[in-house]
Structure 1
Amino acid sequence: MIAASDLPEVIPLFPLPGALLLPRARLPLHVFEPRYLAMFDDVLKTPQRLIGMIQPQDGEDEGLAAIGCAGRVTGFSETGDGRYMITLSGISRFRLGERVEGFAPYIRAKVAWEDFARDLGAPEQDAEFRREPFLRLLERYFEARDLSTDWASLREAEDERLINSLSMLLPFDVSDKQALLEAPGLPERREILAALMEFALHAGDEGSEILQ
């Protein structure tokens, strides 16, 4: 566990459209671009081993979202051709500050952690979560998108793991993923997630009517 006092002022950033990392969740990544291979090698030399996942805006190097989430490298394997398969474990969200100039081929920036102190705590609970209606909505969404899952595992998952895993895995667009990331807490994230699924289903129904 990383304490607030251990969080660095400057971290490397990995802008990746649609890739969402949340605190206490895990994100597998395939690293193959030379600049990010260099970033990964440098990260392994640091005590915290943190990488900041962030959404690019208007092109990868032109703009970045205001808020991202840092993950700690907790596992990796190297392929025969020099690529890495890594696992990031979400630690805390951050607010983006100014970029740090230097000779590194990847982006480094100052970040602020103060607004997200709750991220370093225990898993969140959602006292108003009505699981069965939510799972019925999820089932309709999966059927409409022709998706499959292990329903037994979903039903047994704790609130945070269920909501955060779905937020990371479901095929929403970049702005929707950012809204899920920026949700103040788990109840708000669950509400956004449900609204996104309802909207997708409604849009699909309208599309069917037009085709008819």
Structure 2
Amino acid sequence: MTIVRLPLFPLSSVLFPGLVLPLNVFEERYRAMMRELLKTPEDAPRRFAVVAIRDGHEVAPAAQGMPGSATQPRRGPLAGFGADPLKAFHSVGCIADAATVRERPDGTFEVLATGTTRVRVRSVDASGPFLTAEVEELPEERGEEADALAEVVLRAFQQYQKRLAGARELSVLSGELPNEPGVVSYLVAATMMLDTPSKQRLLQAPDFASRLRDELRLLRVETAILRSLPSLPASDLTRGPTSLN
């Protein structure tokens, strides 16, 4: 069991291993986190933990009214999350490795990170300028029939993507898709149009096979729904929307 202490970045979305995470960092608590990460040697990983918010706000509420040009967010690492962060955040998250941390002239940051390893949050420390957490790396188990499930899920996923794109062939589908069960399970989980609780459940699955079984059920349900809807724009398989902190 490997336990490490890392900066903690709560988001209103779920990060999966292999998913690219663009961030627009403007709140002071997260700017302080990025300044600390920049102290890491260039040849070492700049790691932080990402957890989905269960109860709270990704951006801290303004001191008076909603955030805007005339107001400033409440300060402090726990602003917007209440007194107990273990209740505000989901307990399972993902380590992110920041390949790019670029500071803008106004002091905000443009960050591009990639999810690497699932973790369970054991404790959260709010004594510094930003949140840190003790996290335990979670093992990745294959589960029974993972290889066979991956093949079935890939076929269902392709049908889902075609429906989502209005039956137009997507360039990503014409190439060779990965068939390794773990990669398939995270690719599908990250790409499907699901709410945060559903994505969090997929992240927390005990093994690849369990995640793939859940995804197969979801793909069949979502594909059936899409058959009755007008054409929808294709989704991007590698990058989600830029997260605001």
- RMSD value, Cα: 3.2
1:161–1:98 CA distance, 2 compared to 1 (3 A): closer
Query: What is aligned with 1:110?
Result: 134
1:162–1:112 CA distance, 2 compared to 1 (3 A): closer
Report 1:28-39 matches (<5 A): 28-39=22-33
* Greater share of residues in helix: 1
Query: What is aligned with 1:87?
Result: 112
Q: Tell me the amino acid that sits aligned with residue 69 of structure 1.
A: C
1:207–1:127 CA distance, 2 compared to 1 (3 A): closer
Q: TM-score, normalised by structure 2?
A: 0.64
Match of 2:191 among 158, 169, 178: 169
Match of 1:51 among 48, 51, 67: 48
1:65 corresponds to 2:60: no
Q: CA shift at 1:64, angstroms?
A: 0.5
Q: CA shift at 1:184, angstroms?
A: 2.2
Note if contact 1:21-1:53 (Cα within 8 Å) is conserved in structure 2: no
Percent identity over the alignment?
21
1:14 corresponds to 2:9: yes
Report 1:129-208 matches (<5 A): 129-131=150-152, 133-139=155-161, 141-143=163-165, 150-153=172-175, 155-159=176-180, 160-203=182-225
Q: Which has the higher contact order (CA 8 A, sep 6+)?
A: 2
Note if contact 2:164-2:226 (Cα within 8 Å) is conserved in structure 1: no
Q: CA shift at 1:54, angstroms?
A: 0.5
SS in 2 for 1:93: strand
Structure 1 residue runs without a partner (length 5+): 120-124
Q: Which moved more, 1:168-177 or 1:135-144?
A: 135-144
Q: TM-score, normalised by structure 1?
A: 0.73
Structure 2 residue runs without a partner (length 5+): 58-80, 83-87, 231-245
Q: Tell me the amino acid that sits aligned with residue 195 of structure 2.
A: D
Q: Tell me the amino acid that sits aligned with residue 218 of structure 2.
A: L
SS in 2 for 1:171: coil
Note if contact 1:50-1:73 (Cα within 8 Å) is conserved in structure 2: yes
Give, in whole Å, the separation in 1 of the partners of 2:219 and 2:147: 21
1:77–1:27 CA distance, 2 compared to 1 (3 A): same
Give, in whole Å, the separation in 1 of the partners of 2:188 and 2:47: 23
Q: CA shift at 1:25, angstroms?
A: 4.2
Give, in whole Å, the separation in 2 of the partners of 1:201 and 1:12: 38
